[in-house]
Amino acid sequence: MRVLTTFLLTFMITLPAAAQDADRLSERAHQDREIVYFLRPPDTHAFDLYHDYTESRPGIDRYLNVVRKGSTASAPSARVLDTGETLQVEAKKGEDLLKAGLEKGEEVTPDSDVVVIHFAAVPPGGSVRLRIAETYTDAKSYRLEGDELVFDRSFGRPRNAVVLPTGWYLTVSSIPALVSETPDGRIRLDFVNPRNDEIAVLVKAKRRP
């Protein structure tokens, strides 16, 4: 009983401070980010993806999508899911953004490739739900080894999904996933990670007979 009382008192003392700390209530805490990878044939090393994100900070009017090292991004696009509005998208180098100045919470390095999405500034008490789509090419993380497809990538978002190419079936996944079949017959793996870290996902598949 004494241990429980001590715990409750500690919780009551620390709760107000934690509630005022915006950094502890990040995107991970309210689970507003998700990303889906649609793998193309493995010999292309390419995969399409989209990721959804809710921006609720008043005055924010852009989103910076930093391309992961080793990957190249092409055909970026974005829209507001609330209205269907198509948004302005431009590719920038990190060096140029650093010179122009960054907003709080934006992190880039001089050699970063960054896709900048512009939208109307978020009003006080409002929010905007964005969907950003791109095609990535990364020969290191997505490749063909013999007759086996290999997708080896770390996931930093709370919800991530991988859709195998048409005609391929799953043979192994290093991280537990919910496996399902899409309406068009493709295999989909859904990963959930509520912790504030990354999961190293290794997926292998083979072509159906």
For residue range 131-162, what is the model confidence (pLDDT) as tens digits? 999 999 999 999 999 999 999 999 988 899 99
Summarised one tens digit per residue, pLDDT across range 18-53 is 545 655 555 555 556 789 999 999 999 999 999 998
Summarised one tens digit per residue, pLDDT across range 90-101 is 988 888 888 878
Q: Among 6-10, 56-60, 76-80, where is mean pLDDT lowest?
A: 6-10
d(CA 51, CA 200): 18
Q: 161 has which bridge partners?
A: 36, 190
**What does the DSSP 8-state code read for residue 123?**
P
pTM of the model: 0.80
Summarised one tens digit per residue, pLDDT across range 96-128 is 888 878 766 678 888 888 899 999 999 999 999
> What DSSP element (H or E) covers 15?
helix 2-19
- The values of phi and psi at residue 25, to 5°, are -110, 60
11 or 82: which leads in pLDDT: 82
Does the structure show a pLDDT above 90 at 1?
A: no
Mean pLDDT along residues 10-16: 46
Does the structure show a pLDDT above 80 at 12?
A: no
Query: In degrees to the nearest 10, what's the CA dihedral of 126, 80, 84, 34?
Result: -110
d(CA 8, CA 107): 37
Domain definitions of the chain by residue range: 29-45+139-209, 57-135
